[in-house]
Every structure is written in C-alpha cells, then in structure tokens.
Amino acid sequence: MIELLLGWKKLNHYPKKKCVIVFSHTSYWDLLIWFLYFRNTSFVLVNPNYYNWATKWIYNALNLIPSTRIEDKGLGLVGYLSKRFKEGDCSLILSPKGTVKKKEWKTGYYHIARGLGVKIYPFILDFEKREGYFGPPCDPNTNTEPWCKDFLITQFKKGVEFNLENVEYARDYDIITQNPYERIFPFDFCLVSLLVFIPHILILLKHNYYGLGGLGSIALASSFIYHYRQEGENKPVKYIRWVELGSVYSTFIMILLRAYPYYRTLSYSCYLTFLLGYIFLRCGYHRELQKKRGRYTLYHSVYHILVALGMIQLTESFVYS
C-alpha cells in the first residue's frame, strides 16, 4: 500500500543468499526506501552516536545495528555481525562512506563482507523513476578493495540519488524533477498545496458572492497553471504571471475590504496565520529554475496552506455575520 501511494515500483528481485548490500547514502530519506523494501529481510548498520539505553529498544525493533563494539564484549563488529548472520536469515545493509555527507568511502564495507564470506550487492536507488533494484554483485574474496569500489560506483551511476550535492563521485545527471522531495513522492508540493484554497472559493459561491468567488477561481486557476508550467520543465505560458498576480492581489484586497467591519471579531489565530504565512513566503524565495528548489518549495507550499486558512477565516467573518 505504501509503495502504491508513494508511486514506488515493487522490488522484483532479491539475492537468494545472505549478502552485504551497499547503497549511495545522500539523505536520511533513504531510510524510507529501507522501510519499503527491506524492513523484514535485512538489518542496517547505522551511526552509533544515538545508541544508548533509552534508544536501544528502537534499534532492536527496527533491526538497526550501531557500528561499534556493542554488547558482545571481546568481539569486534565483524564477530558480532557473523553471529547475527548465523542466527537469522537477514542480509546486512550499509553505506560505504558511513554518512549522508559527501565523503570518501571507508573500507569497512569490504572487510565486513570479506570477513563474513559473502558477496557485495549494490542496491541502486533511482529517485527520478522512484525505483530501487540490485546490480550485479562483486566478490571481496576474489577482488581487491579498489576494484570493488570502482565496480560499485559504476553501478550507482545508473541511478539518481536524492541529494545530488552529497554524491561523492563525479557523474552527469539527467534530472527531470528539480525538487529532491518530489523525487520521493509522485506529486508537486506547490500544486497540491494550492488545493487548500478550494474551500474558500466554495464558501463564497455557496453564499452568493459570485464576483469574489469567480475572481478567486481565476486566481487559483492562473496560480495552478503558473506553478505547473512556469516553474517546471514545461514551456512557460506567456503573461500567466501577470494574470496570477493581478487576480491574487485583487481577490485578497477585496476580501480584506469586505471583512473590514469584522476585524475585531477575528481570532488571534487568523492574524497569526497570516503572519506565519508571510514568514514562509519570505523563506520560499527563490524558486526559479536556476535556483535550488528543495526546501524552498516546501516553505512556499506551507505559505499557500497558511494563507488559504487565513482567507477562509476572513471569508467566514462576513459570510456568517
């Protein structure tokens, strides 16, 4: 169900034997992929900084193993992992660089696989196509660490990572989505957030405010077209920005004037909503094609939602008076 909702393709192939699985780790969102594909079939080697008596049960429940000499005194990490391999049917997942940041690979993945006597499988993440799949394995028992590293990097280059800035190897990207968060989910955040304005328009039309309702509909439609065409990869629509700005500001000013006699009846939450909306608007600049869109698109989406909620409260102040 989660795979269907998020638009990710099902994993059709899985190694028949226990192995070490490595992937290009560029964001903590990569853990979502682990939940989608490997929740019951593997355990993950993770950063030990957050492992303590309070979080121990979380690590155990999620099959997370801190990369340190834990619990089995006298045994190194390879010894502990060997014990887990013998006791269960799970494979081991880890990142060769051991962090989400752009950093040189460590050799631990190679020595762990060699110590366990298993092959290394690259799991290729393609956030652009929203799919993950296994590449051909390499054998650390018959190949050197530099050879395995070059082989795995060649495989990883077939996919598209979440955060392109944290990729530690040079490659050319053929990217369609500009916002990395939209590589996880099959929708545009700005477009979806605009739908929150629909209740505001329906309230106006229901109470026979057809002028305001019609103007608000034009504002919503033009804004929807602008976000879809002007800020995306599609060909921009000529003058759509001017139509959007004119209709949006006209609607907002006319709603303010209409609700003026009822300002004192508005709750503090209404004023706070607009204030927060303005803050998120400022945080949402700039979202042009040549700029990074990641978190800025999220900020702008929150701005849409907050302003829509504020407009609903303004509209209700004179509609139900």
pLDDT attached to residue 56 = 78
Mean pLDDT (whole number) for 220-227:
87
Q: Are residues 18 and 135 in the same domain?
A: yes
Last residue of a domain, one of 131, 149, 183: 183
Q: Are residues 70 and 56 in the same domain?
A: yes
Q: Is 59 left (phi over 0), alpha (psi -120 to 50) or beta?
A: alpha
Q: Are residues 28 and 140 in the same domain?
A: yes
Number of domains in the chain: 2
Q: Are residues 80 and 201 in the same domain?
A: no
Of 165, 139, 105, 119, the closest CA to residue 295 belongs to 165
Q: Are residues 159 and 247 in the same domain?
A: no
Under 8 Å CB-to-CB from 169, ≥6 apart: which residues?
A: 153, 156, 157
CA dihedral sign, ordered 67, 68, 70, 75: positive
236 falls in which pLDDT band (50, 70, 90)?
low
Cis check for the bond before 286: say yes or no (omega within 30 of 0).
yes
Give the tens place of pLDDT for each residue, 31-90. Answer: 777 777 777 777 777 777 777 777 778 777 777 777 764 444 445 666 667 776 766 677
| Coil vs helix vs strand at 250 | helix
Structural domain harbouring 88: 2-183
Q: Are residues 102 and 228 in the same domain?
A: no
Q: Are residues 174 and 69 in the same domain?
A: yes
Q: Are residues 145 and 294 in the same domain?
A: no
The pair of three-digit structure tokens given for residue 225, joined into one six-digit string:
């077209």
Of 15, 20, 27, 35, the closest CA to residue 152 belongs to 20
Share of the chain above pLDDT 90, in %: 32
Under 8 Å CB-to-CB from 306, ≥6 apart: which residues?
A: 273, 274, 276, 277, 280
Beta strand pairing status for 20-22 and 91-94? parallel
Mean pLDDT (whole number) for 250-269:
90
pLDDT attached to residue 290 = 45
Top pLDDT among 99 and 89 is at 99
Q: Are residues 200 and 158 in the same domain?
A: no
Q: Which of 69-83, 98-112, 117-131, 219-233 has the lowest mean pLDDT?
A: 69-83
Last residue of a domain, one of 130, 160, 183: 183
Q: Are residues 174 and 206 in the same domain?
A: no
- Going from the C-alpha of 169 to that of each of 72, 161, 178, 196, the distances in angstroms are 36, 11, 20, 41
Q: Are residues 169 and 314 in the same domain?
A: no
Q: What is d(CA 214, CA 196) in angstroms, rounded to the nearest whole number?
A: 16
Q: Are residues 69 and 176 in the same domain?
A: yes
The pLDDT mean for the chain works out to: 82
Give the tens place of pLDDT for each residue, 160-194. Answer: 888 888 888 887 766 666 667 777 777 777 888 99
Whether residue 311 has pLDDT greater than 50 = yes
Last residue of a domain, one of 130, 164, 183: 183
